[in-house]
Amino acid sequence: MSVFTAAADQSICTPLPVLGKDVTVPLVTGGEVTYAALDYAASAPALQRVWDDVAAYAPYYGSVHRGAGYLSQLSTDLFESSRVTVAEFLGCREGDQVIFTRSTTDSLNLLAAAVPADCEVFVFETEHHASLLPWRDARVTYLNAPRTPDQAVATLERALADRDPQLRSSSGGPVGPALVCVTGASNVTGELWPVKELAAAAHAHGARIVLDAAQLAPHHPVNIAELDVDWVAFSGHKLYAPFGSGVLAGRSDWLCDAEPYLAGGGASRKVARRTDGGVDVEWHTTAARHEAGSPNVIGVYSIASACKALTEAGFDSLVAREQQLVSEVRAGLAEVPEVKVLSLFGDAAPRVGVISFVVEGWNSSHFAAALSAEYGIGVRDGLFCAHPLVRTLLGSDPQDVGECGAPEAEPGEKSLNAIRVSFGAGTPDEHIERFVRAVKELVSEGAQWKYRTEDGRCVPDRGTAQH
C-alpha cells in the first residue's frame, strides 16, 4: 500500500514562522499565557512569509483581467503566475486546469455542478461534509466506513463492480460515467487514505476520482500525476494562506462541457443580443469559465506564496518533524487510561497532525473549554463536520442527537462530541508539551473552574472557581 512517509535520514526542521506565535490570552485562573493554537485542521495560522508577500503586493493591487493600466496588468500577471505555481505544487499534467474557488467546499460543489447528468457518485460515509454533501443532483452510493486501507479499496471495488445492472451494456461493461470522492487525510483521525490504490480501482472500473486534499496538502506533497487522480480540491486557509481562496485542479473536459458555475463577467467571452430580445453567450473554455466576477487576487496570491514556502522548506523535513509531534501527543495521551483516541485504521496507521479523542467522565465541550480557559490552548470539540464518521467512531446509533460544535449535555455528562487537537508546520514544541501536561492535569485533578452552557457553548462561569 502507498503511504506518505518522510525519508529516515532527513533532519528535523524548526517550526516555520507564523503569525500569532506571540499572542497572549487571559486565563480564568489569573494572568496571561502565550496562546497555543492547536486547531490547524480548522484554519492554520498564516505563514509569516505569506503575510509579508501579500503586504508587499498590496500597494499594487488592481483589477484582474479588467484594465489596461499598469497595476491591473501587474495584478493579472500575478494572478496567472499564481495559477502556474499551484499547478507545479500539485504536479498537474498537461491539459489540467487550475480553477480558483473560495474553499474546498466551493471546489467540490463546483465539480458536483459539472458532473454529467447520468453520473453515479461513490463516497465513503467517513468523508467531511464538504465532500459528502455536494452531490445532490447525482445518483449517490454511500459506502460504509472501512476499518483498514485494504478494506477501503475492496469496498470500492465491489461497489463499482456491482453497479446497477440497468447501467450495464450488453457486453457487461458499465455504461454512464462514475465518480469516486475520497479524502487524502481524515479531518477527524488524521489517518492517511490509500489514494493511489483507490484511484487505480476507480480507473479499472471506468470511474474517475476526486481527492479532497484539504487536510493532506498542508502536511504532505500532493502530486496529481503520481497519485493518478482526476481532480484535487483544497483550501488556502488550511494551507497557511488566509483571505478566502481555494483550488480545484484536474481534468478539463467535464469542466469545459458544464455550464459556468457562476454566470457573469469574466466567464463570458462574447455576449450579443438576439432579434427575439434574448442574448447569446459564448463562454470561455479555460479556467475563466468557472471564475466569474472579480477574482480574489489576494487570496490566490496567498495560496501561491504558501505553496512556494512549503516547497522551499522541504516536505521531507516538515513531515519528519510533524511525525515527531504526533508521536509525542499519542504517547502522552496513551499514559492517561481515561483517554480514548479515535481511529479507523488502528494505531499503526500513518497520519498527519490531527488527533481526536474522548475522555471518560468528561463532556468533550467541557474539556475543550477548560483547556482554553485554564491553559490557553485552542482545540476543537464537536463532530467536526463529519457527523457519520464521528458517530461510527463513538459507537453511537446513527440517529443519536449530536450537533457540530454544540454540547448537548451539561459539563461532566456524556455527550456525542469529541475533542480534536491539530497542529502542523508552525507548531512550537512547547505547545505540544503544554497540551499533554494539561490533559493529564485535568483528568487527574479536575478543572479549577466551574463551567456552564451558554448559547450552545461550554464557557467558564466567571468569578466561580471550582476549588
> Which residues are designated catalytic?
385
Nearest to 2 by CA among 287, 198, 253: 198
Strands, sheet with 246-250, edge to edge from the N-terminal-most edge strand: 97-101, 246-250, 231-235, 208-212, 178-183, 120-124, 139-143
Residue bearing cell 479507523: 344
The Cβ of residue 168 has, within 10 Å, a number of other Cβ atoms equal to 13
Q: How far apart are CA 79 and CA 128, in angstroms?
A: 29
Give the torsion through C-alpha atoms of 166, 167, 170, 174, to 10 deg: -150
Please state the separation of Cα 176 from the chain's center in Å.
Answer: 30
Query: Which residues, in sequence order, are bridge partners of residue 168?
Result: 174
CB count in 10 Å sphere of residue 137: 12
Reference 363, options 465, 466, 456; nearest CA is 456
Cβ–Cβ under 8 Å, residues 273 and 206: no
- 43 near 423, Cβ under 8 Å? no
Looking at the DSSP assignment, which residues form a beta bridge with residue 181?
Answer: 123, 210
C-alpha cell at 77: 500577471
Question: Contact, 327 vs 14, CB < 8 A?
Answer: no
121 CB-near residues (< 8 Å, 6+ apart): 115, 135, 138, 139, 140, 141, 178, 179, 180, 181
Backbone dihedral region of 427: left (phi > 0), alpha (psi from -120 to 50 degrees) or beta? beta
- CA-to-CA separations, 160 to 133, 154, 290, 373, in angstroms, rounded: 20, 10, 30, 49
Q: DSSP secondary-structure letter at 188?
A: T
Task: Kindly write down the DSSP assignment for every residue of 203-268, as one continuous string.
Answer: HHTT-EEEEE-TTTTTTS---HHHHT-SEEEEEGGGTT--SS-EEEEE-SHHHHHSPPSS-STTTE
Cβ 229 vs Cβ 250: under 8 Å: yes
